Structure 1
Amino acid sequence: MKVSMLYKTLPLFFAIIFLVPALLVVSHHHQTSLFSHPQLQQIKVLFIGIFLEALPFVLLGVLLSSLLQIFIKDAWIRRFSPKHPVIGVLFGSMLGFVLPICECGMIPVVRRLMLKGMPVYIAVTFILSGPILNPVVLSATTVAFDAYPEVIWSRMGLALAVAAAIGFIIYVRSPKNPLKLSLDKVQMQSDALPFHQHTKTWSSFFVHAGNELIDMSKYLVLGAFITACIQSFIPREQLLALGDGSLSSYLFMMGFAFVLSLCSTSDAFVASAFTHAFSIGPLLSFLVMGPMLDFKGLLMLLATFRIKFVIGLCLLVIVLVLIGSVAIDFLY
């Protein structure tokens, strides 16, 4: 690794951690004529609240992801891959507690695991459940919905049910190689990765963490800003009309999650802002749909797997998340 690359990344890494929140707080206390309009003030207050609440969990997810990327060998995981399908699905569903990787870095890791022999159904189960069923996301969801514990456990339960069901469906269909490229070509690309991805040094750790934090923070900033705008400009009555329990409320929140493409370590804070307008079902459709299938994730899936496989996977996610969310809404 070049030392200059580290020097370029570290300032950005620490700027996001310390300077961005400081600037947001300072701007909150020093009003200017440009932002003196009440609605703009409301947007700024909501944006700062969402951003500052979610940033520590995004940072924690980045550090854990970077530690796994730099210091943990994929071969160590392969040795524990079970052979029985039931145990394999449960293993893939619970792997997120051992490898708490956000969906932003999930696809490259899973592709490497598949190249080392992990079965397709376990890998896909991990792709779907890992971004939700991990300690970082559980902690973030607990903080965001501390007054609504039913949302916390319903999110985890629905994510487990959807991921396990899709894992069993893929096992029955038994696709031999859903990867878009042949295994040989993907292996050649893996061998040709930049040098910093093969070195096990603290310098490469900080470079990877800095790049991850920069990449994930832009989605957090965009999502927090759009959410603040929606709450400020869309009348409460219209939001309540969308959340009246009809099918439109579920489709709206699922589409909202797909478009925002938030990291799973921060989406709970965005969803918690809609507790006044939506029942538990639409909130769950947002909290489960987004980490399993969003815009940026779809692009990564299309770049990795065959189109036919991705289309089938997307349809399964949409249908099962919708059915599960409606069912849980009836229970409460």
Structure 2
Amino acid sequence: MPYLYKFMKDSLVFLLFCLFLLLFFFSEQVKNFSFFTTIPNSFVNVNTIFLSIILEAIPFILLGVFVSAIIQSFVSEQTIQKLVPRNAYLALIPAALLGIIFPICECAIIPVVRRLIKKGMPAHVGVVFMLSAPILNPVVYASTYFAFKSTPYIANARMIIGFTTAIIIGLILYHTFKGQTILKEKNHHHHHHKHHHTHGNKFLETMYHASDELFDTGKYLFIGAFCASLFQTFLDRNLLLSIGTSTTLSPAIMMGFAYVLSVCSEADAFVASSFGSSFTTGGILAFLVFGPMLDIKNTLMLFAYFKKKFVFSLMAITTVIVYITIAIYQWLY
């Protein structure tokens, strides 16, 4: 029964993607059929947004699964242990700064971190890397700087707040889940059997791992993109804009907006800049910091790889810490 359920779920995701692909390329022809004349244009908008999210995220998903596969094939547990400082607190700083070296967005970081934790990286260190890498990388800094040319301090503020919140969240999770296993235990016997024959060929082994990760991660990306496209289409933006000037509500609204829009961190600054005249600076920064840490897409991926208790704790702690940090920023500036 578990295999039948998995097969049905995977097939449904695949058929959903094919349906949206069909509607994207043949929307005008489909609307000419009498059966589809009653379908509102909003459904076509859902389809367009869904595919735009998928097409934006797929390159970074591919990057993530290949990095994950390379780590699995070429990086030993001993190497990970040597690279990470033994002191649990000192290890947080290099973990937060790894994003400068590895420019990976939130679409791709989860399988990489999962693989690093399985290889021996301390869980709280992996989580800090997972939260900070989508923000503290050169590509994101450049996109933020160009999106806010008239207010370049926002790019610097985003980096500082992202670094600070990732460290604080890592400390809290370290004390909350110290000594506990946060990864789900999965049965991969069929993978091990398949990889056994390629043990001597690192390239083939890497490709096999990458294909496994891509399929496992991709289906959650499709579900998350579909949910995000529904929110983008049917959310009343006028209501959001009417309360955007409140220093108390603006960050909370923009955090929620970042969560449901699920825009990759390489592109989210351009979305945020379009709200610059309607929301406070704190609200804009909340969007730019919270979105790369948590959105619909990566929440589903987190539930796929991590235990539910950990995911719910991570979501609650991240939400509270980001909001408090933004509130402090608004109070100081």
TM-score per shorter chain, which class?
Answer: 0.5 to 0.7
Structure 2 counterpart of 1:129 = 132
- Which residue among 82, 85, 92 is the counterpart of 1:79? 82
By how many angstroms is 1:239 displaced?
5.0
Deviates more, 1:275-284 or 1:135-144: 135-144
Check conservation: 2:139, 2:266, Cα contact below 8 A: yes
Structure 1 counterpart of 2:191 = 192
Structure 2 counterpart of 1:245 = 246
Deviates more, 1:128-137 or 1:73-82: 73-82
After superposition, the C-alpha distances for 1:104-158 in whole angstroms (9 at most, x for unaligned) are 2322222221122111110111121122112222222222222221211111111
Following TM superposition, the consecutive aligned residue runs of length 4 or more in structure 1 with deviations greater than 4 angstroms are 54-64, 193-196, 201-230
Q: What one-letter code is carried by the residue in structure 1 that aligns with 2:280?
A: S
Match status 1:329 vs 2:323: no
By how many angstroms is 1:317 displaced?
0.6
- The 3 A distance-change label for structure 1 pair 80 and 207 is same
Match status 1:153 vs 2:152: no
- C-alpha distance in structure 2 between counterparts of 1:106 and 1:223, whole Å: 19
Alignment of 1:1-332 (within 5 A): 61=60, 64-65=63-64, 68-72=67-71, 73-75=74-76, 76-181=79-184, 185-186=185-186, 189=188, 192=191, 200=203, 234-235=237-238, 239-332=240-333
Deviates more, 1:269-278 or 1:294-303: 294-303
Q: What one-letter code is carried by the residue in structure 2 that aligns with 1:99?
A: F
Check conservation: 1:81, 1:88, Cα contact below 8 A: yes
Check conservation: 1:103, 1:297, Cα contact below 8 A: yes
Identity value in percent: 34
Higher RCO structure, 1 or 2 (CA under 8 Å, sep 6+): 1
- The 3 A distance-change label for structure 1 pair 132 and 326 is same
Q: What one-letter code is carried by the residue in structure 1 that aligns with 2:267?
A: S
Check conservation: 2:136, 2:162, Cα contact below 8 A: yes
Check conservation: 1:57, 1:136, Cα contact below 8 A: no
By how many angstroms is 1:208 displaced?
9.7
- C-alpha distance in structure 2 between counterparts of 1:324 and 1:288, whole Å: 10
Check conservation: 2:232, 2:261, Cα contact below 8 A: no
Check conservation: 2:282, 2:329, Cα contact below 8 A: yes
- C-alpha distance in structure 2 between counterparts of 1:263 and 1:193, whole Å: 33
Q: TM-score, normalised by structure 1?
A: 0.68
- The 3 A distance-change label for structure 1 pair 218 and 175 is closer
| SS of equivalent residue, structure 1 residue 200 | helix
After superposition, the C-alpha distances for 1:181-230 in whole angstroms (9 at most, x for unaligned) are 3xxx44x528827969x863798899899989999799789979976987
Name stretches of at least 5 consecutive residues in structure 2 with no aligned partner. Answer: 1-24, 26-40
- The 3 A distance-change label for structure 1 pair 222 and 121 is closer
Q: TM-score, normalised by structure 2?
A: 0.68
- C-alpha distance in structure 2 between counterparts of 1:266 and 1:282, whole Å: 17
By how many angstroms is 1:282 displaced?
0.6
Check conservation: 2:228, 2:260, Cα contact below 8 A: no
Name stretches of at least 5 consecutive residues in structure 1 with no aligned partner. Answer: 1-22, 24-39
